[in-house]
Amino acid sequence: MHLIIQFIPPFRTGYLFPGFPLANFDGVHYLEIARHGYTNNMRFMPFYPLSIYITKVIIPFLSTQWIGFLLSLTFFVSSFIYLNRLFRLDYSKRQTQKILLFLIVFPTSFFFWSVYSESLFLFLTVVSFYYARREKWKLGALSGFLASLTRIVGFLIFIPLLIEYFLHRKTKKTCDLIALFIIPFGILSYSIYNYIRWHNPLLFIQAHSQLSNGRSSTTFIFFPQTLYRYFKILTTVSVSLWEWKMALLELVSFIFACLGIYILWRMKVRLSYIIYVFLSLLVPASTGTFTGLPRYIVVLFPLFIVFSGIRNRAILACLLICSFVLQMILLLYFSRGYYVA
């Protein structure tokens, strides 16, 4: 028992939500937006806090933090229903089960049931792909539109859906193609709101540079520069510091995503999936830092297809156990006020 107590990290000051450890950091801002609207937190897209606000109006006796948690959990479960349907279009039941299992135990999957937009974004992107695959383009476009209102990179789903339309649709209708063009209007509408409210249509993007994490919102920074920066961090910062451990986690996440894209290409996975993962990785990784990447990649569901080909049970079990243990450790630190992603 003494060893267990020693392992538990002390609380850190910072963006902690009192009494609700699953709403730390970004969760604090989402709840503030849901309660009071935008103040100086315009870098957060509106659809997730808007969902909390609407649910609060319908169920006023529940606190906003519990509503956020229950919404995230609901969207996560719903995502699994659609992920199963989507992957079963191409993969066996056993392969699909492996993919979903690794998504559950991935080290940063606890963000799916935290007061974060990850579960909502995953749900919307999966639904968008699913209905595109079923050639129900208007429903796919509507989900993509809402995804671009949930995360900045959400509008990128427009490109892989166009690929699906031109490469795999047998009969093409102009109205279906036009419907896909509503997807970028999600982020465009929030840009218009920024212009009306703060007289700067790109303020929600530029605000990311104010976080003091080395992120650039105005300049494209090539990967080698960022990789060199992380090499310097890992070779100069003390290994005992939490910042060193996070730098290692962020670098490993970037390497995993890059290797995942290569493996997906070797597996001859659908081009739309590969393009979606590549573009969604390119945007945050080109800002001069990999901060947040361990969380950003968890919503890139095609990445987890790489695990579907593992047949060795010993390797499979080892990966699952290690991933789950790391998830529990990261969740413990996150709940105590340590920034994870």
Distance CA 203, CA 16 (A): 25
The alpha carbon of residue 126 and the mean position of all alpha carbons in its chain are separated, in whole angstroms, by 12
Q: Please report where in the chains the tokens 């849901």 appear, as a residue.
A: 34
The DSSP letter of residue 221 is: -
Of the candidates 72, 60, 55, which has an alpha carbon nearest to the alpha carbon of residue 20?
Answer: 72
Q: How many CB atoms lie within 10 A of CB 19?
A: 8
**pLDDT tens for residues 321-340?**
999 999 999 999 999 889 99
Q: Categorize the per-residue pLDDT at 3 as very low, low, confident or very high, splitting at 50, 70 and 90.
A: very low
Q: What is the pLDDT of residues 24-68, one digit of tens each?
A: 899 999 999 999 999 888 999 999 999 999 999 999 999 999 999
Q: 242-266 vs 271-285: helix axis angle to the nearest 10? A: 150
Overall average pLDDT of the 145-169 stretch: 93
In the predicted model, is pLDDT for residue 11 greater than 90? no
pLDDT given at position 8: 63
Helix intervals (H) in 148-290: 158-168, 174-180, 185-198, 203-206, 223-236, 242-266, 271-285
CA angle, corner 297, sides to 219 and 177, nearest 5? 80
Query: Average pLDDT of 150-169?
Result: 92
- Whole-model pTM: value is 0.93
Q: Which pLDDT band, with edges at 50, 70 and 90, does 176 fall under? A: confident
Domain locations in the chain? 20-335
pLDDT computed for residue 87 by the predictor: 97
Between CA 267 and CA 208 the distance in angstroms is 36
Residue 16: what pLDDT? 64
**Is the confidence at residue 6, as pLDDT, over 60?**
no
Residue 134, SS3 per DSSP: coil
Residue closest to 83 by CA, chosen among 47, 48, 125: 125
pLDDT tens for 205-244 read 888 877 656 676 667 788 889 999 999 999 999 999 999 9
Quote the percentage of the chain above a pLDDT of 70: 91
